[in-house]
Amino acid sequence: MRIHASRFEQATALTDVLLGGLCVYIIFQLAGFAGYKADIWVWAFGCLAFSSFAAAITHGFEMTRKTNELLWMPVNLSLGLTMGLFVVGALFDLSGEAFARSALPFMLAIGFLFFLVTVWRPGSFLTFIIYEAAAMLFALGAYSYLFFTGSVSGAVWMAAGVFVTIIAAVVQVLGKAGRSIFWYFDNNSIFHFIQMLGIVLMLVGLKSSL
């Protein structure tokens, strides 16, 4: 495969690699903490890292449409599982470990259902944005509540990180691929940059609460 001719796709692939690298760093930061909560978030960022590195391939190289759609399948599966694990992580802080454990199979099933939808309608990133928005709005509500009740240390950082992630999703939806926002960074690249800021804020919150 050849490197994609579009500078915008190259920039998107580069920011995907940066996002994946940041997720790997966060995994190492959280791996030192014991317990179910740390495990959930390690797996969440692990799935996000995998999807980022795999998406870098789909954006960064020229290939047939069929090959591109096939490569997007594991990306979409890991993204679906990521969002499910994010919700479980929020439920842990909101309702405790027992409830989070019982919710895990259900949320993973929803993540897999999202994957099946993308198989049925390949090439539509809007499906993920809708799914991500639902998960992130729930998490934002949960951590905002935990902040105001003072129930969990670091809840304000988690709420801020989730809010920034929602802003990233809005930028992704409202922008247009291949149209410059800055240099060769289009809506996809800026989405990644803003999302990286969001997960850094989440890391601060997680380390405070673990």
* Residues 93 and 155: beta-carbon distance below 8 Å: yes
pLDDT tens-digit map of 94-131: 999 999 999 999 999 999 998 888 888 766 667 777 88
Q: At what angle do helices 187-209 and 155-174 cross, to 10 degrees?
A: 170
Domains observed in the chain: 7-209 (1.20.1070)
Nearest to 160, CA basis, from 170, 147, 173, 175: 147
pLDDT in tens, the chain (210 residues): 799 999 999 999 999 999 999 999 999 999 999 999 999 999 999 999 999 999 999 999 999 989 988 999 999 999 999 999 999 999 999 999 999 999 999 999 999 998 888 888 766 667 777 888 899 999 999 999 999 999 899 999 999 999 999 999 899 888 888 788 888 999 999 999 999 999 999 999 999 998
Q: Which residues pair with 182 in a beta bridge?
A: 185
Contacts of 51 (CB under 8 A, 6+ apart): 74, 75, 76, 78, 79, 82
